[in-house]
Structure 1
Amino acid sequence: MQTVAAAITMVRDDVFFLKAWLRHYGRLLGRENCYVINHGRGAEVAELAEGCNVIGIPGDPHPNFDMKRWRLLNGHVNGLRSYYRHVIVGDVDELVVLDPAAGNLLDFLAQQPLRRVLTPVGLELIHRPDCESLDVGECLLGPRRFLRHAPHYSKPCVLSLGTKIARGGHFSQASKLNTPEPLYLIHLKYCDYTQYVAAMDRRNRVTQELGVGVKQAAIGQHWFAEARGEDSATFAAFAALPLAEAFDFSKVRRRMHRSWKPRGETGYWQFDRPEADRQYVLPDRFFGLV
């Protein structure tokens, strides 16, 4: 049994993303090293995650849902670090991937020094309905081949150091920034129009049950119907993003390091996160990886 790396996430009903998460980490790490917190004890989640370590918890809606979630994830990550060299933590629609030109993720992590936090460059896999099929199927990379740089998802999510991660997973209290060149975090939220609509409908129902507004809840603004916007317009806008000439993020990493600084008096650290201004074409070597 390998003890190089484990992966942990929390999920409630998002079975499309859970299937991708399980395929990715189950294949790379082994299901026995995958930890799925089943928020609401959903039967389908438990069935899909068979062979993983499934932890069922109550699913009552709560305005401080995200704070509670990351308090729980922080505790589990710090516990699992006693048994694994590295722990990968994040939302179920986020996958840490290694450029295939650099080998496979497990071997890569086995060679990384301990007592550090790794921050992959964040990329959003985007569905271009103007030139891609409507139904993506199970294989995502290949049928979907456009991405946009997403600084908000360059998260400190691979840990071999005892530290605290902020709500949402966007910041940590580790003062050293490590951005390995071949490491990426791929965010799947926009990878399929049909699945996006279904997921947003579920999130809007959750916040509607809470009966509070954006300012009264410690939940991402995107969970609220009033902040959603028009779905078709959101996806149509992807086609207008300028196309980058090369799949190269060396300048992005340098900019992250140049702007690295304390996040006020919070104890967390951050880099500047400019808005995405271009899209990229995924190299063929990534096809089939997820």
Structure 2
Amino acid sequence: MQSTAAAITMVRDDAFFLKAWLRHYGTMLGRENCYIVNHGRGEEIARLAKGCNIIGIPGDPHKNFDMKRWRLLNGIVSGLRSYYDHVIVGDVDELVVIDPAAGMSLLDFLRDAPIRRVLTPVGLEVIHRIDLEPDPITDTILGPRRHVRLAPHYSKPCVVSLGTKIARGGHFTQASKLFTPDPLYLFHLKFCDFPNYVETMNQRNAVTTEIGGTVKEVAIGRHWFAEARGEDRAVFDAFADLKMQDGFDLGWLRDAMHATFRPRGDTGFFQFDRPDYDLQYFLPERFSGLF
């Protein structure tokens, strides 16, 4: 039984993403090392996550959602660190992946990685190029989907082996040093499949409608609100306009992260610049089938 790494997420009704999360972390780390906060105690979530450590919490609509969620996740991460060298924490549609060119699994990489630090993978958003990728997603996402756009917003400090506080949303920590291992990526899956995007957004809009209140009052991502949604097909059509880049060398992006790393005002957290890049890449074949 390994004690190198555990993974934790919180989920409500997102079966599509949970299946991918379980295929990735459940297979690699062992389900006994996966921790799932089942928000609302959904029966389907409990069924899919059988063999994992499931923490059921009430699902009643409430405000300050994200603050409460990260307060809970911070506490669990802090506790798990007493038993694991590394704890991977994030949303259910975020997966930390090691480049297959490294010749090892993520678990093998973490076995050899120093502790008492926070690792920040480069964030990539898997996008569904509906003009080029007609095949539905069945067993795996990477393969039917091979296009990614740069997503610095999702370059999250999410592999934790240090006592630190994680900010709401998981975008910042109080760790004062930045570590961005070359082969490490975080894939964000929100836009990986057009039909699932429509279904997921319908569910999230219903949640915010039930809660009531403004974005500030509810303290949940603006993208959950119907008024910020836009026209779904137009969102995906626009991916074709992103500038396609040759190759897959993102060393320049890691350099930019380090060059701009600094305290986030007087909050106690640290940050780097997260500009919007109008760029996309085609994933090398070696990534196909990873999850």
- SS of the residue aligned with 1:245? coil
| Gap change, CA 1:64 and 1:236, over 3 Å in 2 | same
TM-score by length of 1: 0.99
The residue that corresponds to 2:222 in the other structure is 221
Letter in 1 for 2:98: L
Cα distance in 1 between the residues matched to 2:256 and 2:181:
14
Number of aligned residue pairs:
290
Preserved CA contact (<8 Å) 1:121 1:253:
yes
Preserved CA contact (<8 Å) 2:135 2:144:
no
TM-score by length of 2: 0.99
The residue that corresponds to 1:283 in the other structure is 284
The residue that corresponds to 2:275 in the other structure is 274
Preserved CA contact (<8 Å) 2:136 2:144:
no
Of 12-21 and 213-222, deviating more is 213-222
**What are the equivalent positions in structure 2 for 1:210-249 lying under 5 Å apart?**
210-249=211-250
Shift of 1:242: 0.7
The residue that corresponds to 2:12 in the other structure is 12
Cα distance in 2 between the residues matched to 1:35 and 1:97:
18
Cα distance in 2 between the residues matched to 1:79 and 1:215:
30
Per-residue CA distance 1:74-120 (angstroms, 9 max, x = gap): 00000000000000000000000000111110000000001000000
Cα distance in 1 between the residues matched to 2:252 and 2:26:
32
The residue that corresponds to 1:167 in the other structure is 168
1:142 has 2:139 as partner: no
Cα distance in 1 between the residues matched to 2:4 and 2:148:
29
Shift of 1:71: 0.3
Shift of 1:138: 2.4
Shift of 1:276: 2.3
CA RMSD of aligned residues (A): 0.7
The residue that corresponds to 2:155 in the other structure is 154
1:21 has 2:21 as partner: yes
Per-residue CA distance 1:47-86 (angstroms, 9 max, x = gap): 0000000010001111200000000000000000000000
Cα distance in 2 between the residues matched to 1:216 and 1:134:
40
1:81 has 2:81 as partner: yes
Preserved CA contact (<8 Å) 1:134 1:193:
no
Preserved CA contact (<8 Å) 2:148 2:283:
yes
Cα distance in 1 between the residues matched to 2:69 and 2:277:
28
- SS of the residue aligned with 1:280? strand
Gaps of 5+ in 2: none
- SS of the residue aligned with 2:286? helix
Per-residue CA distance 1:205-256 (angstroms, 9 max, x = gap): 0000111122322111000000000100000000111101111110000000
The residue that corresponds to 2:255 in the other structure is 254
State the 4+ residue runs in structure 1 displaced beyond 2 angstroms: none
The residue that corresponds to 1:60 in the other structure is 60
Per-residue CA distance 1:146-194 (angstroms, 9 max, x = gap): 0001000000000000000000000000000000000000000000000
Shift of 1:134: 5.1
Cα distance in 2 between the residues matched to 1:94 and 1:215:
24
**What are the equivalent positions in structure 2 for 1:30-49 lying under 5 Å apart?**
30-49=30-49
- SS of the residue aligned with 1:222? helix
Cα distance in 2 between the residues matched to 1:279 and 1:94:
18
Identity %: 70
Cα distance in 2 between the residues matched to 1:260 and 1:229:
33
The residue that corresponds to 1:98 in the other structure is 98
The residue that corresponds to 1:263 in the other structure is 264
Letter in 2 for 1:43: E
Letter in 1 for 2:261: W
Letter in 1 for 2:241: A
Gaps of 5+ in 1: none
Preserved CA contact (<8 Å) 2:6 2:29:
yes
Cα distance in 1 between the residues matched to 2:80 and 2:132:
43
Letter in 2 for 1:253: R
The residue that corresponds to 1:196 in the other structure is 197
